[in-house]
Structure 1
């Protein structure tokens, strides 16, 4: 059965998912949000041999009589290695990567994947099946062949597979003896004018050196280093480097829970993620990616003078991401619908103003950045702050993007307060005392209103909506956002209430009330990390560490997380890999780790 035991390979332009048996079952081309030419992850049915699996949309390498596979990342890299075993002692090794390194003083990141095959032992017999499709599975390619390549021609784009493997065996999908190394390069329809094996070896060595150098530049905690490094690399693979955008996940329509219809397209950039991503990148010392992301955000700020901010944008700042359902694809494990685009782009979510201001604040305080914040940026951010003042007590869809239910959500209001609070601090740094005082007055006013309407005196804790009675996990961020101190009895009471009402075993629901699709069935990974952070802030460090370790144990075999976890089985659900989840892991590890000095 299809699962999320997947590895990610990529280079900041494209990213692909590889399953535990070395099948590429997802690849958006020619960029992260592009038409997935391999999409069998979300297309059930039978394959061409009548076996379980899709008929098209994959790139598989399998041995005759294969019995076992093992998979690892090469340490400190985004290069994935799968070892296949057959029942006659044959062993073959598959190395998958997307080239990435510095060339001519800029990053070389072509929309290309490379697969290197090496026989290790015995007489492994391999079958190569390359079955791309176009237009979300609606169009099968026309296929033409050359002496060392195969072209897969669609209506608007063409893939080329260049290889030193026998072309006829690939086209006929016939097993053949692998007695020497082989290389497969798939990407744009461009001729390769150099020796293929030597080219792939050079690209491999440069890419490996690049990733290991990148990892050496990270600021990581003493404990849980491997988990943090893998999270950092994965976060980087979700970064569309050309514009600076970071997608929420690489996939669409992996459901939050079986038969829930909570199937969303996450291949876009949510402004809400900005604060959390920037916070994690800053802690890791990934200043270039952080600065590029700030550039993406400030471009949006420039365009929004007369308009409300949207909650989510395309990776090149497209605002029209209309949602539609595929009539062709069968869905992940047969779970429909498969959605393309996201309706949230047209919602009102008032937290976006605080999200952008909090993210942009780094530009005024981080002296490592090449393009620091200045008076002009501050004045543009003030326009957003004024919109936050207007919106803070207005109904919206909230942080969980409710589709038909509007209310004044506490998190949205607190984020509007945070916009005013940070603008006061930025004004002070810029030596503008009058503006600092004005924004402080606004922040104080919003703070008082929020405390009046979001605190429920009968229940004795904060609630998710003004004058309401329900909880949601974003209330765990009241301390993280500096709205309340960790010692504030109201924060302590709210954390305790959330632990009592939203916790299920070692995991946390985002809320337990009915929404547009009923009551949530799976726990939300990032909420679990927020709870860990809140416990640590309250001084309950041993409890926080135990819970953190339990959550780490739910990562897939390659150390990656999706959006949701089924609390009883521990099964991963939701889009993959989830940026939110990987950011939460980094932040919690940084908070909980013993200092480096304890090692010596």
Structure 2
């Protein structure tokens, strides 16, 4: 039986992250988010590797310590209750676990890493306070250390413990660079001190929203920031299927331009200007001014071009969903919409701060983007949905190129470059007329098509048309008729892999925003209410949602869904924040 994603929580130190399902660490790449996994039970329950803590009892609650990604799990065991805290220290590729248990209570922990996505079985080196599990191919290792507690080894990489305990699972490049090997001291002399430092890190962030989905969405977006570069990765996982048992399984451990731009916008709207600007700095750092500004739709967490897509045939896949993939072949696609997402986020930053110095410092990026969009809007592309096959003239892509030019013109006017502003405003008008001429009666997925997709919902949100425009009204009617499932919206009806099955949360949130603009507030609230009720036990969202089971689908958690929720909730509770 597959691990239920709805019972799975994320912990992160903004360098890497782990997923924990009922005290079992089932996913942990190290030392970085995009590194090979050392625990991957999520993708293969037999050979993937995991780190579990098992009590003779049941988990009664799982939650985050308020405003943080420190995970608290409570277990009813015997006549007492156990509290377990899981977190990652800020500066180490490690997981720390504090078990607060009655002194006589016995339990077991199994520390069973499998290196290189479960491909390599490590050999074991025992020590007084734990063990090291060494990859024989390159000497990297995971070490299990009992920092405090009464624990003794059992067979099969298990330890039996009684009462309170404190553990660390630490990744090292070699024995000489490890803690048990003597080459690396623990960053904090006491595990409790490490916890205090993590809690202080989050206290300074002043996360708002109480215990609801707003708070968990802010924490998730902040947790997905790569601390060394500022970029915001789309998801911490790979190959969690859009449809269980099928092949829609992709690696999302990259910094997508569109996803990161939307997340940066949501954070800035929530008041996290420093973090949002950090994400913008990452995107600005990878711009190529002599060609397409973003020559890849996504980048590695360090800003490097993405590598090739590979399949891992030795892994069974989540729920038998194969193939398991690392890397993503969409890296070579032409996607014309990404510059629009980026320029809209940059304009949001300027609208909130009036930071002329920042915009002037990166004026060369604004110029290069406007020039590219002015010359290239008539090209076919793979679109937002990254269709693999024939390039087409996707309506959403053209509209996002209009967004790029429109925002460039606004920035030019704002910093006093009136001539450029007038020119780009005129170019934006040309793109708009080009789209309208090719969509005379209603907007469709691509020019010449009779299908709609839910990416078209952004047209009024970005100010391309009025929400009551006749063409858009016809489009909205078609989306409601063809794409809505149980109150949420599919991204399209079918693609190169077949029919879509589960609603896409971001476009469902867009639909709520469109309804809000049209005064259909009850319908908008119903959409967000459904999403809130179907968030995981700790308030996380996947890319898609199985509306029958309320289980997340696709990679989980996903910044698109959380950023879209924050923007939609603000649109309903305050002023519309995407609308032009």
Q: Same fold (TM over 0.5)?
A: yes
Picking from 423, 426, 449, the partner of 1:468 is: 449
Does the alignment pair 1:568 with 2:559?
no
Q: Per-residue deviation at 1:594?
A: 6.3
Equivalent-residue separation in structure 1 for 2:384 and 2:85 (angstroms) = 40
Counterpart in the other structure of 1:106: none
2:498 is the counterpart of 1:510: no
Q: Which runs of 5+ in 1 are unaligned?
A: 45-53, 101-108, 596-600
Q: 1:176 to 1:258 in 2, by over 3 A?
A: closer
Equivalent position of 2:69 in the other structure: 78
Over the aligned positions, Cα root-mean-square deviation in angstroms equals: 2.4
Deviations 1:18-49 (A, max 9, x none): 00x200000111111111111110113xxxxx
Aligned match for 1:158, one of 127, 134, 141: 141
Moved more, 180-189 or 464-473: 180-189
Contact 2:257 2:342 in 1 (8 A): yes
**Contact 1:423/1:439 (CA < 8 Å) preserved in 2?**
yes
**Equivalents in 1 of 2:444, 2:164: separation in Å?**
64
Q: 1:334 aligned to 320, 324, 331, which one?
A: 320
Separation of aligned partners in 2, 1:573 and 1:252: 12
CA 1:386 to 1:169, structure 2 compared with 1: closer, same or farther past 3 Å? same
TM-superposed CA distance for 1:283, in Å, is 1.1
Q: 91, 115, 125: which one pairs with 1:134?
A: 115
Cα deviation, 1:528-570, whole Å, max 9, x if unaligned, reads 1111111001111122112211121111111111111123333
1:59 matched to 2:45: no
Question: In the alignment, which of 314, 317, 323 is matched to residue 300 of structure 2?
Answer: 314
1:286-305 equivalent positions in 2, closer than 5 A: 286-302=272-288, 305=291
SS in 2 for 1:470: coil
Q: Which residues in structure 2 correspond to 1:83-482 (within 5 Å)?
A: 83-86=74-77, 88-100=78-90, 109-120=91-102, 123-154=104-135, 155-156=137-138, 157-163=140-146, 164-165=148-149, 168-169=152-153, 172-173=156-157, 176-188=160-172, 189-191=177-179, 199-216=190-207, 218=208, 226-302=212-288, 305=291, 309-367=295-353, 372-374=358-360, 376-455=361-440, 457=441, 461-482=442-463
Q: Does 1:6 align with 2:3?
A: no
**Is this contact kept in 1: 2:149–2:163, CA < 8 A?**
no
Structure 2 counterpart of 1:559? 539
Using the TM superposition, give the Cα deviation of residue 304 of structure 1 relative to its aligned residue in structure 2, in angstroms: 5.7
Verify the 8 A CA contact 1:150 1:167 in the aligned structure 2: no
Aligned to 2:529: 549
Which runs of no fewer than 5 residues in structure 2 stay unpaired?
A: 576-580
Q: Do the aligned partners of 2:47 and 2:114 also contact (CA within 8 Å) in 1?
A: no
Deviation at 1:168? 4.4
Residues 128 and 170 of structure 1 are in contact (CA less than 8 Å); yes or no, is this contact kept in structure 2? no
C-alpha change, 1:197 and 1:388, in structure 2 (3 Å) is: closer
CA distance in 1, matches of 2:545, 2:186: 46
Structure 1 residues 540, 298: CA separation in 2 closer, same or farther (over 3 Å shift)? same
Contact 1:535–1:541 (CA under 8 A) maintained in structure 2: yes
Q: Is 1:16 aligned to 2:18, yes or no?
A: yes
Distance 1:360 1:142 in 2: 50
Shift of 1:308: 5.9
User: Shift in Å at residue 414 of structure 1?
Assistant: 0.6
1:29 aligned to 2:30?
A: yes
Q: How big is each residue's C-alpha offset from its partner over 1:333-370, in whole Å with a ceiling of 9 and x where there is no partner?
A: 12111001000001111112223322333454442769
Q: 5 Å matches for 1:574-593?
A: 574-593=554-573
Q: Which residue of 2 aligns with 1:598?
A: none
SS at match of 2:242: coil
State how far apart, in whole Å, the 2-side matches of 1:364 and 1:594 are: 20
**Alignment partners' CA distance in 2, 1:548 and 1:24:** 30
- Native 8 Å contact 1:395 1:406 kept in 2: yes
Alignment partners' CA distance in 2, 1:536 and 1:56: 45
Structure 1 residue 136 displacement after superposition: 1.5
When normalised by structure 2's length, the TM-score is 0.91
SS in 1 for 2:20: strand
- Given that 1:274 and 1:359 are in contact with CA atoms closer than 8 Å, whether structure 2 keeps it comes out as no
Q: 1:309 to 1:593 in 2, by over 3 A?
A: same
After superposition, give the CA deviation of every residue in 1:228-280 in whole Å (9 maximum; x if it has no partner). Answer: 11111011111112111211111100110123310000101111223321220
Tell me if the contact between 2:110 and 2:157 (Cα under 8 Å) persists in the aligned partners: yes
CA shift for structure 1 position 451: 0.9
* Alpha-carbon displacement from aligned partner over 1:556-590 (angstroms, at most 9, x marks no partner): 11111111112333332110101111111111111
**Counterpart contact for 2:142–2:169, Cα < 8 Å:** no
Cα distance per residue 1:476-500 (max 9 Å; x no partner): 1011211112343333332233122
* Equivalent position SS for 2:286: helix
Equivalenced residue count is 563
What is the SS of the residue equivalent to 1:548?
helix
Give the aligned partner of residue 578 of structure 2: none
